[in-house]
C-alpha cells in the first residue's frame, strides 16, 4: 500500500512536469457577436465575462465539455464547447475542437461492472480494442466471490458486433480463452487450483452519452480441470464503459 502511494506521488510529480513542459497554447478569434465565460465548467455557473467579436481567446485546456480560456485582458474562465467551436483560428481556419469519437467506429473501450459467475457475485473490468468497426479483441479481468471458493478469472477473446451502426442496442457474440485461479475457502483445507477455460458469449452494447456506453454479456464456459471431466459454468455481466 505504501509502495502504491509512493508510485501515485511519483506519477503526480512526473505528470506535473510533463504538463509544465507544454508552452504553446491555441489562440482562437471570436467570430460570433460575443462568447460567454463562466466561472466553472458546468451549465449552472454564472457568466462573469464576455469576449467580443474580433478578440482573441487563448485556450488552456478542456474538462469534459468545457474549455478553460484566457481573455485578452487576462481573465480566465470556462467556455462551452459549442460556443468555442464557432470561433476561428487566426489563420481563418475553423477552430480545431476535436470531434467526439463516433460510437460505431470507436477503437478503445475501458469498463467495469457487475455480474454473476457460477452463481457467485462477480466484479469485472475489461479493455477492448476494435480491429474493425465490428470485430474487437477484449481482455477481461474478473473476481468472483463465492461461499465455498473465490475465483480470479482472466480471459482474452474476440467479439463481433453484428450491426455496429445501431447506436442504442446492437447484439454481439464472441469466443475466447483464459485462466481461472480457484481458492477454496470452505474448511477443512484451503486448496488452490489453476484451470484453463474457454467460452462462447452472446451480448449487446449501446450508447449512453458522449463517451459513455453500456454492455451486457452472457457467457458459457468450459473449464478444463484436472478431474478428467470438464466443468460447465455460466456467467452474465453488465458493464459501464468509456470509449475513445
Provide, rounded to whole angstroms, the least separation between the CB of residue 230 and other proteins.
26
Read off the C-alpha cell for 170: 446492437
Contact residues toward other proteins (CB under 8 A) are: 1, 4-5, 8-9, 11-12, 15-16, 19, 22, 24-26, 39-45, 59-68, 89, 91, 96-98, 112, 114, 120-121, 123, 125, 143, 145, 150, 185, 209-212, 240, 242
Provide, rounded to whole angstroms, the least separation between the CB of residue 203 and other proteins.
19
Nearer to other proteins, 65 or 160 (CB): 65
Nearer to other proteins, 135 or 240 (CB): 240
- CA 238/CA 112 separation, integer angstroms: 8
Q: How far apart are the first and last CA of the chain?
A: 30
Nearer to other proteins, 39 or 230 (CB): 39
Read off the C-alpha cell for 78: 470556462
Cite the beta strand spans of 33-133 per DSSP E: 34-38, 47-52, 56-63, 66-70, 76-80, 88-89, 108-117, 120-130
Provide, rounded to whole angstroms, the least separation between the CB of residue 42 and other proteins.
5
Nearer to other proteins, 125 or 173 (CB): 125
- The helix (H) or strand (E) run that includes residue 170 is strand 170-184
Amino acid at each position: 500500500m505504501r509502495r502504491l502511494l509512493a508510485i501515485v506521488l511519483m506519477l503526480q510529480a512526473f505528470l506535473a512536469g510533463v504538463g509544465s513542459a507544454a508552452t504553446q497554447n491555441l489562440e482562437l478569434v471570436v467570430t460570433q457577436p460575443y462568447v460567454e465565460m463562466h466561472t466553472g465548467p458546468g451549465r449552472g455557473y454564472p457568466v462573469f465575462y464576455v469576449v467580443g467579436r474580433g478578440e482573441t481567446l487563448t485556450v488552456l485546456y478542456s474538462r469534459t465539455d468545457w474549455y478553460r480560456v484566457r481573455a485578452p485582458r487576462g481573465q480566465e474562465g470556462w467556455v462551452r464547447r459549442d460556443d468555442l467551436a464557432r470561433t476561428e483560428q487566426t489563420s481563418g481556419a475553423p477552430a480545431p475542437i476535436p470531434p467526439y469519437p463516433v460510437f460505431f467506429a470507436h477503437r478503445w473501450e475501458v469498463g467495469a461492472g457487475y455480474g454473476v459467475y457460477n452463481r457467485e457475485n462477480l466484479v469485472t473490468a475489461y479493455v477492448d480494442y476494435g480491429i474493425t468497426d465490428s470485430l474487437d479483441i477484449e481482455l477481461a479481468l474478473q473476481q468472483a466471490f463465492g461461499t465455498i471458493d473465490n475465483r480470479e478469472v482472466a480471459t482474452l477473446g474476440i467479439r463481433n458486433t453484428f450491426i455496429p451502426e445501431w447506436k442504442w442496442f446492437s447484439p454481439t457474440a464472441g469466443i475466447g480463452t483464459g485462466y481461472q485461479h480457484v481458492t477454496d475457502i470452505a474448511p477443512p483445507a484451503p486448496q488452490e487450483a489453476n484451470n484453463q477455460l474457454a467460452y462462447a458469449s452472446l451480448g449487446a452494447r449501446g450508447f449512453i452519452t458522449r463517451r459513455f456506453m453500456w454492455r451486457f454479456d452472457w457467457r458459457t464456459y468450459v473449464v478444463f480441470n484436472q478431474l478428467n471431466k470438464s466443468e460447465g459454468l455460466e456467467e452474465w455481466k453488465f458493464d459501464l464503459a468509456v470509449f475513445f
